[in-house]
């Protein structure tokens, strides 16, 4: 049986640059930063006091007060982005076989805010005062479960967890599930909401985040000589994936083909990447082979691009190793330069951005990239938005634990 072609027919975003996909996309093209001082809690005692927060999100008004009360912020944001993507696709579950429509999502940490909140209740007021919603709110699979309940989708449903590669693993397994014939449509993405004291405090203890507190909009500076760590972000991204046959039969708008997936493990260190970026190299090669793309077919890479001293030259070395003499002509950017690092949701958000870049023929800049850091010798699109017809693109996600994921996309 011929392999099924899978396409993107709907996208949804909620991010530090806006509550809709359109707002986020326009902010990225304008070179705007969503990073600022933390307002979700008093961060005055923390070494890092900045983050990319989702601003103006009223869960009670958006989802209803009773529904919002039962969801952690990561599920609230994910449900909101998932519903956007579903609406954008033009699908109506009442016209579909719901058992053939699934939800596969990713989150690196899940309901961290709920966990922190309820631990305080336990310690100060005792176990009898803990919320009955505690466990359902904190569990990662609440994300896919709540979306399926809201939309009535009864097909494959689960959540992947692999730190910063979580949503990309979810998208990759969604691709394979669709190709296998187990489903016709899958709503796939990721969500994260870790701008809470435990989240910020934990990464401060790792000394992984920028401390450029007096200049937050210039703190996330991937591949730049003066980068000093990543900036935490929060938000969610979702894509509607379906077979090309199904999409064409209903006259759907098609953004691009989701063509390939590669995933590897470094087997090296829980937080540091392998030497010579060996795992990331294999991930990209596997995605290219799965997509049946040559290196000459790829014009653009949405990099993991965290703005950390270790990641940026490591990922750059991987790109050079895989693409060889093709590497200098590639456009390589980092969406994290404007949104911050959305941890487990980052792969989904960046997949949406990659799909939009292919669809519109536009690549956003890497904000704050002024002087290339050592080992950072690619074209990181520092000066502003660029336009041309893009044929193929990759999106990298490289997570703690040694997890490497690459998603491959192709214009149709």
Q: What would you report as the CA-atom Rg of the chain, rounded to the nearest whole angstrom?
A: 20
pLDDT number for residue 274: 86
* Stretch 264-268: mean pLDDT: 95
pTM of the model: 0.97
Give residue 261's pLDDT.
98
pLDDT value, residue 139: 97
According to DSSP, the β-strands at 331-333 and 298-302 are: parallel
**Region 173-182 average pLDDT:** 97
Catalytic residues: 164, 304, 341
Note whether 370 and 309 are within 8 A (CB): no
The mean pLDDT of 67-84, rounded to a whole number, is: 97
**Alpha-carbon distance 365 to 28, whole Å?**
8
Pairing mode, if any, of strands 392-399 and 403-410? antiparallel
Q: Are 376 and 309 in contact (CB under 8 A)?
A: no
């Amino acid at each position: 049986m011929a392999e099924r072609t899978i396409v993107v027919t709907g996208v949804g975003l909620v991010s530090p640059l806006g509550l809709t996909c359109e707002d986020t996309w326009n902010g990225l093209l304008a070179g705007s930063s969503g990073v600022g001082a933390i307002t979700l809690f008093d961060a005055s005692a923390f070494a890092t006091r900045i983050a990319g927060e989702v601003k103006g999100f009223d869960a009670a008004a958006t989802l209803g007060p009773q529904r919002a009360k039962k969801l952690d912020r990561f599920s609230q944001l994910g449900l909101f982005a998932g519903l956007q993507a579903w609406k954008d696709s033009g699908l109506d579950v009442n016209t579909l076989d719901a058992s053939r429509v699934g939800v596969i999502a990713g989150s690196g940490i899940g309901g961290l805010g709920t966990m922190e909140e309820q631990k305080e209740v336990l310690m100060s007021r005792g176990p009898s005062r803990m919320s009955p919603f505690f466990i359902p709110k904190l569990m990662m699979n609440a994300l896919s479960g709540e979306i399926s309940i809201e939309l009535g989708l009864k097909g494959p449903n689960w959540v992947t967890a692999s730190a910063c590669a979580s949503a990309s693993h979810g998208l990759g397994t969604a691709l394979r599930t669709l190709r296998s014939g187990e489903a016709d449509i899958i709503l796939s993405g990721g969500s994260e909401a870790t701008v809470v004291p435990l989240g910020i405090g934990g990464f401060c203890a790792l000394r992984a985040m920028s401390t450029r507190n007096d200049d937050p909009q210039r703190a996330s500076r991937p591949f730049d000589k003066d980068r000093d760590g990543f900036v935490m972000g929060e938000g969610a991204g979702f894509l509607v994936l379906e077979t090309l046959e199904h999409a064409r039969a209903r006259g759907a708008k098609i953004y691009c083909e989701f063509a390939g997936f590669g995933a590897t493990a470094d087997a090296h260190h829980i937080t540091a990447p392998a030497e010579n970026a060996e795992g990331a190299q294999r991930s990209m090669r596997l995605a290219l082979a799965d997509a049946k793309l040559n290196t000459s077919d790829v014009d653009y890479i949405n990099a993991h691009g965290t703005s950390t001293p270790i990641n940026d030259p490591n990922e750059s070395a991987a790109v050079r190793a895989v693409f060889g003499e093709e590497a200098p002509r590639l456009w390589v950017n980092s969406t994290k330069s404007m949104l911050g690092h959305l941890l487990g949701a980052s792969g989904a958000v960046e997949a949406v951005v990659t799909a939009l870049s292919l669809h519109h023929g536009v690549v956003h800049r890497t904000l704050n990239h002024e002087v290339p850091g050592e080992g950072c010798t690619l074209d990181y699109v520092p000066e502003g938005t660029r336009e041309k017809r893009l044929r193929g693109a990759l999106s990298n996600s490289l997570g703690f634990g040694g997890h490497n994921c690459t998603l491959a996309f192709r214009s149709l």
